[in-house]
Amino acid sequence: MSIFVCLLPMLDAEKSAQFREEHLAYLDRQRSLGRIIANGRFADGWGGMVIYKAESLGEVKAWAENDPYVIKKARTYDIHEWDMVSEHFKLG
């Protein structure tokens, strides 16, 4: 199991507001499947970030491409595998 950071830069703020509930519902489903460690938006309006745990980059890419924000072109995405260092968090 690896950790991936999915950055979701803003493409269209109006579409982002319009499809926010769909996006959040999608993330809730992903979380219920044990795929999401954390998520949130950036306070400066740049976009948001989702931290996934997955077996492969391909899995996370598929999940990102099915996010309503990406489908509706409110946001784009950029994924990076992350070697997280933490004394307080353990990946289970």
The reported pTM is 0.88
What's the Cα-to-Cα distance from 23 to each of 8, 45, 56, 84, rounded to whole Å? 11, 16, 22, 25
Residue-level pLDDT, tens digit, the chain, 92 residues: 899 999 999 999 999 999 999 999 999 999 999 999 999 999 999 999 999 999 999 999 999 999 999 999 999 999 999 987 766 666 65
Distance CA 47, CA 58 (A): 22
pLDDT for the residue 84 = 76
User: Across the strands, what pairs with 78?
Assistant: 7
